[in-house]
Amino acid sequence: MFSQRAVDALKEAESVVVLTGAGVSAESGVPTFRGAGGLWREYSATSLATPEAFRADPRLVWEFYNYRREVLAPLAPNPGHYAIASLEDSFARFTLITQNIDNLHRVAGTREIVELHGNIWRVRCTNLGCERYTLAWENRDVPIDPLPPRCEACESLLRPHVVWFGEMLDPEQLRRALVAVDDCDYLIVAGTSAAVQPAASMPMTASRGGAFVLEVNPEPTDISPYMSEAVQEPSGVALPRLLEAAFGG
């Protein structure tokens, strides 16, 4: 249950940021592909999500991403996704920063999104000299065929537009995220332990800047004691309730 202080601070906020992680997607049935259950065929999922794996066997990596796309295709946003989309309509300055690649926030209707780790439904060329090297475009084909796909402009390999282990984040996406966090006066951290940089620093940055920082997560995390308020509930339960308390129906 939220305190009146958390509700009042949201009502009075001028700039709101929401930071989401895997927990929000998990409520829609999205698997994490990490940990003990993160196996595909006989491969560790995390061992395939690397530039080295793609260089060694691009077809195998694309087969894995085809599988992931097939898992994601029938899934739908949950009430937490829709609550965040509704929240955007209540503020002139709003940014969603997500660590998720599943595109469910866009499907739910959120417009101002920073996708820190990319988007599994987008592809881009691997050729540094190609006009499409920095241009990612949506491809909803399930499955993508033939494998591995090639760029229509230069015939080089295409790759998923996601950030693999060992890669740097897109500097423009990171810049947008840091500017939004630095500028906000209310930050909601939902479905993430914020244990991995750069997301790990964002709640503390907002807090030091004077923002009200609300954590929404089913379990306490390492950052819970440092938040303005921490609510131990799934985002799909807590966020619609917060919206109702602050703005009514």
222 Cβ contact list (under 8 Å, min separation 6): 193, 195
DSSP type of residue 157: B
> Is the peptide bond between 51 and the residue preceding it cis, with omega within 30 degrees of 0?
no
Judge whether 117 counts as a catalytic residue. Answer: yes
* Type of residue numbered 133: Y
Q: How far is Cα 80 from Cα 102, in angstroms, rounded to an integer? A: 14
* Type of residue numbered 206: A
* E strands, 10-117, in order: 15-20, 39-40, 43-44, 93-98, 113-115
Q: How far is Cα 65 from Cα 120, in angstroms, rounded to an integer? A: 8
212 Cβ contact list (under 8 Å, min separation 6): 6, 9, 10, 13, 185, 186, 187, 228, 229
Dihedrals φ, ψ of 222, to 5°?
-65, -25
Q: How far is Cα 151 from Cα 143, in angstroms, rounded to an integer? A: 17
* Type of residue numbered 126: T
CB 136 within 8 A of CB 162: no
> Is the peptide bond between 143 and the residue preceding it cis, with omega within 30 degrees of 0?
yes
Cite the active site residues. 117
